[in-house]
Amino acid sequence: MSVVRMIEPVPASADTPAERMRRVAKIAAQQVDAVDREGRFPVDTIEALKRERLLGVAIPVEHGGEGLGTMEIADLIVQLAQACGSSAMIYAMHQIKTSSFVSHGGASDWHLAYMRRIAAEQLLMASATTEAGIGGNLRNSICAVEVADGRFSLTKEATVISYGRHADAILATARRAPDAASSDQVMVVIPADLNRTLERTSVWDTLGMRGTCSDGFHLVAHGDAAQIFPKPFSEIAAQSMLASSHIFWGATWFGIATDAFNRAQAFVKAAARKQADGSLPPGALRLAEAAALLQEMKGHLTAAIHRFDAAKGNDDALSSIGFTAEINALKVAASEKAGAIVRLAMLVNGIVGYKNGTPFSVGRHLRDVSSAPVMISNDRILSNTATLLLMSRFDTSLRG
């Protein structure tokens, strides 16, 4: 069961989602150091997200949500990431899983009803795609769903379930049946308030992103077979999850890098005021270099969002080699640039950036973005892209 305290939602507000997220980010910033230091779940931030009704913003209006698009949600993630990287990553992963309901939940009465519950009750969604024996290859499973008499059972050795003990539901992948191929997968919704047990098998004691509490679990679930998405997971991944993951992760890393840049900019401005001769402080050129990388990162992210939005509803476009290669490139580039920007901020700020507890500290930022290249390994993604490039030509059209 979720350990997040039940709270009464505030009445519908005329405030925009951005204004509501601003209030959440203020709470997140107040607890970020404790969340990082203690490796604890950001309970107050998640409660604030629920109170401000920001967990169901992507769900269509007719089903109780606000129907926000990819760009608007990415902007909310960027806002939160500037306050707390772990909180933003939790919010991003929730929105990734919500996208599966938005894109594919209309195909069954059960998923449509649960999508409405997400919006009405502000439920937090988590994901169980990794598994012992497959590493980070989410397009393969060892465990299998067994279905009999309209009921399913599932046992999964999940090496990581981010905030699994705190989620209201987990979306788990598995083989369609015991005799199915490892790539013949389905995704099943496993609510915390139904037949589910989680036995922790490993503890999330990591360099960064400590507040995501991504422990490993022995997951056992039973339920109605209707909880299984009718569409194969291969199609869910290609048509919503792949792009949403890389875009919303990229927004998280962009937000972290932006906050590090802002701290470096404040440091340089303070140093410039002390320069009696009006000369540039030593870190100014590094700051300009970081600004160029940040602009590149922003351009790549916004271009990918526009490409994704243009392809929505067109299964062929979403599954195309060109689209997949572009979204893969976003993940690799964003994860590498975010790290480079934070390292430049560290150089600009010097010892007060290296120390914790100063207005210019960026150690937490550096540790958090260090997760980016290994969160689905960049090498794995580049290898997949290389295979795709053997079957296609690079599109050189600037309008493509």
Class of domain 233-389: mainly alpha
Strand, coil or helix: 6: coil
Task: Give yes or no for a contact between 338 and 372, defined as CB atoms under 8 angstroms apart.
Answer: yes
Global confidence as pTM: 0.95
- Domain limits of the chain? 17-124, 127-227, 233-389
Beta strand pairing call for 169-175 and 125-128:
parallel
Class of domain 17-124: mainly alpha
Per-residue model confidence as pLDDT tens for the chain (400 residues): 444 444 444 444 579 999 999 999 999 999 999 999 999 999 999 999 999 999 999 999 999 999 999 999 999 999 999 999 999 999 999 999 999 999 999 889 999 999 999 999 999 999 999 999 887 788 899 999 999 999 999 999 999 999 999 999 999 999 999 999 999 999 999 999 888 999 999 999 999 999 999 999 999 999 999 999 999 999 999 999 999 999 999 999 999 999 999 999 999 999 999 988 888 998 999 999 999 999 999 999 999 999 999 999 898 899 899 899 999 999 999 999 999 999 999 999 999 999 999 999 999 999 999 999 999 999 999 999 999 888 888 888 887 6
Residue 268, both tokens: 């340089």
Nearest to 243 by CA among 187, 313, 183: 313
Q: Which amino acid is at 63?
A: H
Fold designation for 127-227: Butyryl-CoA Dehydrogenase, subunit A; domain 2 (2.40.110)
Residue type for position 325: A
- What type of residue sits at position 123? L
Q: Which residue is listed with tokens 């600009």? A: 348
Q: How far is C-alpha 399 from the chain's CA centre?
A: 29
